[in-house]
Amino acid sequence: MTSADVLVIGSGIAGLSFALRAARFGTVVVITKKDRPESSTNYAQGGIAAVFGEDDSYALHVEDTLVAGAGLCHPDAVDVLVREGPERVRELIEIGVGFTRDGEELSLGREGGHSRRRIVRADDLTGREIERGLLGAIAASPNIRVLEDHAAVDLLTVADPRTGEPRCCGALVLDPEGGEITPFAARAVLLATGGCGQVYRHTTNPGIATGDGVAMAYRAGARVANMEFVQFHPTALYSARERTLLISEAVRGEGAELRRMDGVAFMRDYHPLGSLAPRDVVARAIDREMKRSGDPYVLLDCSGISEEEIRARFPNILRETGARGIDMLREPLPVVPAAHYLCGGVLTDTSGRASLRGLYAAGETSCTGVHGANRLASNSLLEAVVFAHRAAERLKGELSGLALVDSVPGWSGSRGWGTPEGVLLVHDREEIRSLMWDFVGIVRSDERLEFAEARIAQMAQQNETIWASSAPSAEL
């Protein structure tokens, strides 16, 4: 049995920044399903929103966040997010993250829903640069051990001897190489597993974004909230074959315009900010235009941005679209909405504590209430680093009251050793993704939701047989 003071599940900005701080007062094990950099953070293009501009203010950032969240944000959490954000960005700079600068000052971009330029970025590969900086700092910490290619299967709980209430004491972890599920004991666990975009047919999320953290927390008895609030990014590059490519909000922030196939701009018909409206407004508008016309996509016209600016500001998008046979310097980009971000998740307080004692959550896995029904662009990386920091600070004062459990429960799930036919797993996975896209997507109705619920319940029952008779695997 492996043990540590703190077990971190996930290796994005939330998990790694938490691990760095927790390593100051305890031993930390970080587990990740793939290799270390593979996380939603690594694919984040736009940036991290924080108040640095002279014409900006905390009040303006708070207002923009509340408006985007459709009145359903938790104001106290939003205030924490905005006021503590700049200091967390400075800490990222201190560990070596190289953000783009204009001379000595940070270069600030603007994205949809923001009233000011406040997007701190590293060209159009911000997430990758943050991940690089954090992994470098992690490698230099003697108190942190990272286990790649390990998948958490379930959280472990025991009764607290003082209260009789359950508390989290670790997790069951699958080592794919040996096919063994082994217990990892910990005094506290942080869930930082990202979102669940892979349950949709079209998503900007990497393959690891399968909602594991939320599911494990729910099964363990922790509260979850706002699971219906899935954000659809308005502009993913349309392709019938290639992996979905996100076209950053920042492209519209610098002057790109959404147009119908006949070349007519349409976003002013839906919102005064036009193509810079909040994401939910733009995604619904595109969906409506596509349904009205029957076209499979709309056009993102980048002609309002100079070639020099595109090459300097969006080198990765220019390279990736070019690899797909599209020259964004000369022709508009075909774009469609795609599932992008889970605004709900494991319910936490503003210190990252879940309702289950000993369990913490941060980043997209968590629901702090800062996003309400719709996340403001570039507030996700900010939320992750702000509340991961607060979770670590809270745990520092609570760790002494969380004893390491000597004996933890073992695996009691599937007991068979068979291998299910791959076609069965692929078929079920693709059916779920199609059901979610068609019936639980951008526009929903009671009839669609009831149909999807009934069919998924049938599939869950059918899969119980496969689960009970098969050896554990990452695919299952």
pTM higher than the cut 0.75: yes
Residue 278 belongs to a domain: yes
Least confident segment among 50-54, 145-149, 247-251: 247-251
**CA pair distance 199, 435, nearest whole angstrom:** 9
Structure tokens that stand for 78 in this block: 């939003």
Q: Smallest Cα–Cα separation from 188: which of 211, 212, 160?
A: 160
Q: What is the pLDDT of residues 92-129, one digit of tens each?
A: 999 999 999 999 999 999 988 899 999 999 987 898 99
Q: Are residues 305 and 355 in the same domain?
A: no
Q: How many domains does the chain have?
A: 3
Angle, CA of 326, 327 and 333, to the nearest 5° = 60
What CATH number should be reported for the domain holding residue 442? 1.20.58.100
**Which residue from 207, 243, 254 is spatially nearest to 321, judged by alpha carbons?**
243
Residues 197 and 78 in one domain: yes
Give 230's contacts (C-beta < 8 A, 6+ positions apart).
196, 200, 339, 341, 342, 343
Q: Do 155 and 291 fall within a single domain?
A: no
User: What pLDDT does 43 receive?
Assistant: 67
Mark whether 241 and 141 lie in a shared domain.
no
The answer to which of 52-56, 140-144, 235-239 has the lowest mean pLDDT is 235-239
**212, part of any domain:** yes
DSSP 8-state symbol, 365: G
| Separation between Cα atoms, residue 339 and residue 312, nearest integer Å | 28
Q: Answer yes or no: do 212 and 255 share one domain.
A: no
| Whether residues 222 and 288 fall in one domain | no
Enter the tokens of residue 422: 């791959």
Q: Are residues 367 and 453 in the same domain?
A: no
Range of the domain at 292: 234-338
Q: For residue 146, how many C-alpha atoms fall within 13 Å in the half-sphere facing its CB? A: 23
Is the pLDDT confidence value at 172 over 70? yes
Q: Of 290, 317, 338, which residue sits at a domain end?
A: 338
CATH number, domain at 253?
3.90.700.10
411 — pLDDT class (breaks 50, 70, 90): low
Q: Does residue 146 share a domain with residue 280? A: no
Beta bridge partners of 190: 8, 360
At 144 the three-state DSSP class reads: strand
Say if 412 falls within a structural domain. no
Q: Residue 190 corresponds to which tokens in the numbers above?
A: 């942080």
pLDDT digits (tens, 9 = 90+) for 298-338: 999 999 999 999 999 899 999 999 999 999 999 999 999 99
Q: End-to-end distance of the chain based on CA atoms, in angstroms? A: 23
Confidence of residue 471 (pLDDT cuts 50, 70, 90): low
Give the confidence band of 33 by pLDDT, cuts at 50, 70, 90.
confident
Provide the annotated active-site residues: 279
Last residue of a domain, one of 295, 323, 338: 338
390 lies in the same domain as 435: no
